[in-house]
Structure 1
Amino acid sequence: MMGDVEQHKVVSLDRGLFLVNYKSADDLASPPHVTVVPAQGHEGRMELIMHPDASEPTLWQPNSGLMVRVNTPGTLQIQVQPMRPGGSRAAMVRIEPIQSGRAPLVAQSEHTALHSNVVIEGLKVLGHVAGRGDVIAAPNTWIAGPTAPSRIEGIALDWPEKPVGLDIRYAVQFANGQAGSGKMVSLGTFAGTRGRALPITGVVLEISGTDRFEFVAEATFLNAPTLRAIGKRVVLSGPTSREPLVGIRMGINRIAATDNVVVPAKPARKSVGSGRVRVFRSRARQESSVG
């Protein structure tokens, strides 16, 4: 019967922890049940954390829920099925991202919303390394670094697929106020020196034009702990701001979306009650719903 057909909705989730909360149903006497499973082929990307008394990832009534731990961005499938033949298939399920605590950053961070930790593809990072020349790395890949420290004398960023309206600038700093120290340059421009043996002692990264992206960067300075910074503007330097940069890796994160998506379910027989399926994507303090 058409009224008994399951309703499916797929939701794309970034890396993180999410609460899937069955909030309410139109028919409280015979509420539909909701099954939560990874999409086919995405089983290895996430794991479901259920109540210890649950044997399957099915939410049988409102005010029940489970957790989804997403290790690699993937797709979650929400299946809604009526409790009885011809019954209601209208259920509201909220998918709420849970923000993790984070240690203080040695950087200036202007955004405190949920971070998706998804590195943008297509970004290229160039570092001019003493004794090696120009080294080009993919996002989130070390140039020199903790296991192979070497003096870095210049950097450049390139992102051919950069969204329109997004502005990226960066600067390097030298000891003793060398010419060009601290000068902000645009995407694709080399900042630093080649063949002059002038080590970098600081890096500044800025991104503007949209709230959907931010920098994530790590840097190692000589005889100093590795620093990690996340934000729309980050500043990396050693304890005295004079230590040479001997390793860096950086990327650009896409921050969790705030767009609302409304998708109607396939209609059942006219005599059957509402079968709407709604999905709302949101930030940590807002709500995502399937209803």
Structure 2
Amino acid sequence: MPQPADINDAIAVRTVLKALKPGLYVIRYIAAQGATEATPLGVGQAPLYPSGQLSITTPDGGTEGALQRPGDYLVLNVTGGNVVVAISKYAPKPLLDTAGVHWRIEPLARASQQAPAPRLETAEAFSLTGHIERRGDVTVGNGEWLGNPEGRARLEGVQIDWPTRPATVDISGWCQVGEHRLNGQAGDYLGTRRRAAPIANIGFQLQGAETENYRLTGEAAYSDGTRLPLDGTRRPAAGAHLVALRLHLQHRVREAHREQPAPPQRSSWLDPEVTHITTDDTQEA
């Protein structure tokens, strides 16, 4: 009885390796020559960069993980790190050196999904009113000094006026007067009236569901010459009192975004970081 033929005696395999960075690619079978039938190609991940993962999508009617003839293609999705793709030519041993196959790997261009960064605009209808020693009540606009940061006259109370404030955001504030800590929101008066009581420390912050749409900055000036941010991370020296305050409220304006097509990308073959490890007549066109 004749023994069955060993396929290893009849078919030879030659492999080309390509290193790819994370992204989407398409590999296409371009042309075949030197054989009466097209020489099939197998496509898979070589075990060289274990951190990356390769998934292959086969179109309807195609062979999973294989290119059988010119015009066939596969979509490669590289995630988690670089991978090495093995492209293997399968040919009868006598034709291994004469059956040429040309293929190409190209990155898939994607439309830009990144929205432009929002710009910051000074919020309108935002003001500060405060009671200044020997001057009485004074009102200033957004970003302006309430009181004299170079002087020593006490700023004894502060109120934020924001009539256009949305319901989804607010400004909370606090101040230290003697042994007492006073708290409030926009529209509340922080401090004292007609008591000549100094404010020893003060702070403000945004709160609410849409704080990411606003930016609040500012500083407080004290009688010892120090100027401190309003986040409470630093305290004035003992005995110093508040003499001036400024708050700057801005809101983020997002431009309408239109998707723009990505610029044409060069073939990964031209990228020096995409390595062509071996060459033979199984090659990229």
TM tier, shorter chain? 0.3 to 0.5
Q: TM-score by structure 1 length?
A: 0.45
Q: TM-score by structure 2 length?
A: 0.46
Which has the higher Rg, Structure 1 or Structure 2? 2
